[in-house]
Amino acid sequence: MTKIKQSQFLGFYNALVDGDKDKCTSLVQSLINDGLDLKEIYVEIFQKSLYRIGKLWDHNQMSIPQEHLATQIIESLISRFAPVGKSNTEKKVVVTCIDKEYHEIGAKMVSNVFEMTGWKTFYLGASVPTKEIIKFVKQVDPKFIALSWSLYLNLGRFLEVVDHLTRFFPTKKILVGGQALNENSINILKKYKNVKYIDSLHSLESYLKQE
């Protein structure tokens, strides 16, 4: 059960849609002062707002500049209220969006959850070509690779990167997530024994606790 009240969500959402960054910042600051977990703010405030905005945009009820402005405000809040803590250099993870995937906010949240759990993160952001991901993984030699995939149209690219990574790095664990994936996706991933679909930040945190 979330500790965030609907009125708090709506206060933030309305300020976001109005493009009022200062108000959004002070509302998030007060939630943090009240002891709310960053993960909770990510999911119940930022993600919920962006999903709503996505629907409005899809139905032509919100302009592209309004949607871009809201996205920029949320990106700036994620950076401003970034987790602080000491990372364990033994536990490295490369977090990246797949090639031609420009939805990077979910991946950034994933990277921050790894940091909160003490991992050393290498967050690459949006659209990294498959061969560059492979080169980078060779260089950094992480324990985990976390891939984010949102746009269903990128299915071919998703399968390509999973196929290449599992072939080049058969012992590494690959975590995958994002809106293009769901319970049905488990079928397309069945043949890869080191690939794991994780459906939320809460599941990710629980999974990392066992590592």
Q: Which of 105, 165, 189, 195 binds ligand B12 (CB under 6 A)?
A: 105
Which span (8-16, 81-89, 135-143, 198-206) binds ligand B12, by CB under 6 A?
198-206
How do beta strands 173-177 and 195-197 pair? parallel
In angstroms, the CA 171 to CA 15 distance is: 46
Residue 16 interacts with ligand B12 (CB under 6 A): yes or no: no
Of 121, 113, 118, residue with least CA distance to 94:
121
Residue 96 interacts with ligand B12 (CB under 6 A): yes or no: no
Quote the least distance from Cβ 175 to ligand B12, whole Å.
4
The footprint of ligand B12 on residues 158-187 (CB under 6 A) is 175-180
Identify residue 190 by its one-letter amino acid code: K
Quote the least distance from Cβ 203 to ligand B12, whole Å.
7
DSSP symbols for 111-151 = HHHHHHTTEEEEEEES---HHHHHHHHHHH--SEEEEE---
How many other C-beta atoms lie within 10 A of the C-beta of residue 98? 27
In angstroms, the CA 171 to CA 78 distance is: 32
Quote the least distance from Cβ 64 to ligand B12, whole Å.
8
Quote the least distance from Cβ 116 to ligand B12, whole Å.
13
Site of interaction with ligand B12 (CB under 6 A): 42-43, 47, 50-51, 53-55, 57-58, 67, 71, 100-107, 109-110, 146-148, 150-153, 175-180, 198, 200-201, 204
